[in-house]
Amino acid sequence: MKNRIEELLSRVGEFVPASMKEIEDFRIEILGKKGVLTQLFEEFKTVSSDVKKELGKDINLLKVATINKINDLKESIESSIESADSVEDITKPALFEEIGTRHPISMVKKEIIDIFTRLGFNIADGPEIEDDWHVFSALNFPEEHPARDMQDTFFIEKNPDILLRTHTSSIQVRVMENNKPPIRVICPGRVFRNEAISYRAHCIFHQVEGLYIDKGVSFADMKQTILYFAQEMFGAKSKIRMRPSYFPFTEPSAEVDVSCNLCGGKGCNVCKYTGWLEIMGCGMVDPNVLISSNIDTEEYTGFAFGMGVERIAMLKYGVNDLRLYFENDLRFLQQFEAII
């Protein structure tokens, strides 16, 4: 009896039917009222009690294996019939291919780049993994400056000289090291800061910074360049204002506000009823920075500026939570221009 059960088990395992009918025949042969299993159960009643335990297990195993096999076979045949059905009607209209959309950050970054290339700025690139010199020292950060604090910067544990750039000013240093003035570049790129993620801060974001060094470059040139940018980006009626600020690499330094493009400067909840939106930092390049890159400070002066792309995009589109840019939720992303 044991041998018969084993033979049947291997038959179940190897059974490959050619049709639904063969499966049904097989089911009746084994599981049917007059089938093999019924016979086995009849015989089982007559065997001695010491072998009953083992044989009982075997018969049950055979029953379960057969039921599972038949169910699996039926399912796979049914699903192959279904998929055959779906390709059958070739006159059905085709499903539309979904059209992707540009990511709002890419769109705004491109717009910023386009505005500055119209003014004759070139685009410069640099590494995201940097060294202390290019991110801090060459930019006149004193050794103990708080921006070097672990709070802001991601350092590499094994070598504190290697870090993730916290701003793309590091690219400007590389440009100054490798080129002679006149220099007119913008530096778009990803930057990293050890910040808690919230609606207004993220540990990864995008910047576009700019640098212009030549003979006789003045604060007035900077102001006019930034006004041009603001009017191109936020509308021809935009105004700018500058508030004194501090950056180690610029002197004097300023924070730039643009008149609120949503309320036209009257005051709304986006501009917190001030009529102004902060858009970037800027300043005249500190002579110490020029000296670090071997640029003659008697001959040359320059200005620099830097802005966050997410911030500009938030203001342009009225998005109030920065995290939306990183979550890849299609319901959000599909609201922006389609690529055609």
**CB of residue 268 vs ligand PHE: minimum separation in angstroms?**
26
Identify the residue among 306, 309, 312, 324 touching ligand PHE (CB under 6 A): 306
Identify the residue among 27, 148, 167, 311 touching ligand PHE (CB under 6 A): 167
**Cα 294 to the chain's mean position, in Å?**
38
Burial class (CB in 10 A: 0-12, 13-18, 19+), 316: middle
**CB of residue 289 vs ligand PHE: minimum separation in angstroms?**
10
Please, what is the angle between helix 49-88 and helix 2-14, to 10°?
Answer: 10
- 71-110 footprint of ligand PHE as x/- string (CB under 6 A): ----------------------------------------
What's the rounded Cα separation, in Å, for the pair 192 and 201?
A: 11
Cβ count near 87 (within 10 Å): 8
Q: Is 282 in the site for ligand PHE (CB under 6 A)?
A: yes
**CB of residue 255 vs ligand PHE: minimum separation in angstroms?**
9
Structure tokens at 187: 């530096």
Q: Which residues neighbour 167 within 8 Å (Cβ) at sequence distance 6 or greater?
A: 135, 191, 207, 209, 306
Strand order in the sheet with 129-131: 129-131, 159-164, 155-156
Tell me how far CA of residue 121 lies from CA of 17, 181, 223, 301, in angstroms.
72, 13, 16, 17
Identify the residue among 26, 276, 305, 325 touching ligand PHE (CB under 6 A): 305
N residues, the chain: 340
Query: First vs last Cα of the chain: how many Å apart?
Result: 72
Identify the residue among 58, 130, 132, 209 touching ligand PHE (CB under 6 A): 209
Structure tokens at 162: 């290697």
Nearer to ligand PHE, 181 or 283 (CB): 283
Identify the residue among 169, 170, 225, 301 touching ligand PHE (CB under 6 A): 169
Stretch of 46-54, 129-137, 268-276, 299-307 contacting ligand PHE, by CB under 6 A: 299-307
What's the rounded Cα separation, in Å, for the pair 23 and 53?
A: 31
- Asked if 112 and 280 count as a contact pair (C-beta separation under 8 A), the reply is no
Q: Is 304 in the site for ligand PHE (CB under 6 A)?
A: yes
What's the rounded Cα separation, in Å, for the pair 335 and 103?
A: 10
Nearer to ligand PHE, 207 or 238 (CB): 207
**CB of residue 82 vs ligand PHE: minimum separation in angstroms?**
57
How many of the chain's residues bind ligand PHE (CB under 6 A)? Answer: 11
Identify the residue among 181, 188, 189, 283 touching ligand PHE (CB under 6 A): 283
Nearer to ligand PHE, 181 or 306 (CB): 306
Nearest residue to ligand PHE, using CB? Answer: 306
Amino acid at 302: G
What's the rounded Cα separation, in Å, for the pair 282 and 208?
A: 12
- 212-251 footprint of ligand PHE as x/- string (CB under 6 A): -----------------------------------x--x-
**CB of residue 231 vs ligand PHE: minimum separation in angstroms?**
20
Residues in contact with ligand PHE by CB under 6 A are: 167, 169, 209, 247, 250, 281-283, 304-306
